[in-house]
């Protein structure tokens, strides 16, 4: 991903040069919009362009592009085809397993979704507020640290708490 503030002249010129760019900001402006180019890393081949608006974070997640809005995430393929939408606030994602963790209804719960299908796989609720969550490198486990200083290791492939460690 190449991300430029839309206020940069070169970014505006690139956005105009790509009339097929996905326009996610209907009224882009110099202060809050970004021009995003998706290129193939090994060849530099142009795949797609996006123009985003204020409050939208663009993340490369394995073979997918995630556009994180305030209360939902849009999932796109590398060539810019929209594949789904997931409601909630994103917490973390795994490139390896193509899973994303979204904050649940409260700050004590999270839900695990499949990025390929946007399907909710499981939901976990804890005794106190979640302070931190990250996937293992292989994407099969999720570490969750809560405000009461409890650490949970969740096996995301079977959807149950595998280990709970309290200091």
Q: Which parts of the chain have pLDDT scores under 50?
A: 26, 159-161, 163-167
User: 118-144, pLDDT tens digit by residue?
Assistant: 999 888 899 999 999 999 988 889 999
User: 6-26, pLDDT tens digit by residue?
Assistant: 665 666 676 677 666 665 554
Strand order in the sheet with 141-146: 130-135, 141-146, 151-155, 160-165
């Amino acid at each position: 991903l190449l991300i430029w503030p839309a206020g940069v002249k070169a970014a505006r010129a690139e956005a105009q040069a790509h009339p097929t760019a996905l326009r996610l900001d209907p009224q882009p402006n110099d202060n809050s919009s970004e021009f995003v180019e998706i290129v193939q890393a090994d060849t530099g081949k142009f795949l797609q362009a996006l123009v985003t608006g204020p409050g939208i974070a663009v993340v490369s997640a394995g073979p997918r592009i995630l556009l994180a809005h305030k209360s939902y995430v849009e999932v796109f393929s590398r060539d810019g085809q929209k594949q789904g939408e997931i409601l909630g606030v994103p917490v973390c994602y795994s490139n390896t397993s193509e899973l994303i963790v979204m904050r649940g209804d409260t700050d004590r719960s999270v839900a695990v979704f499949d990025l390929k299908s946007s399907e909710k796989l499981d939901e976990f609720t804890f005794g106190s507020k979640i302070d931190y969550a990250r996937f293992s490198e292989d994407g099969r486990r999720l570490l969750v640290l809560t405000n009461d200083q409890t650490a949970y290791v969740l096996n995301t492939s079977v959807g149950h708490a595998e280990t709970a460690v309290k200091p």
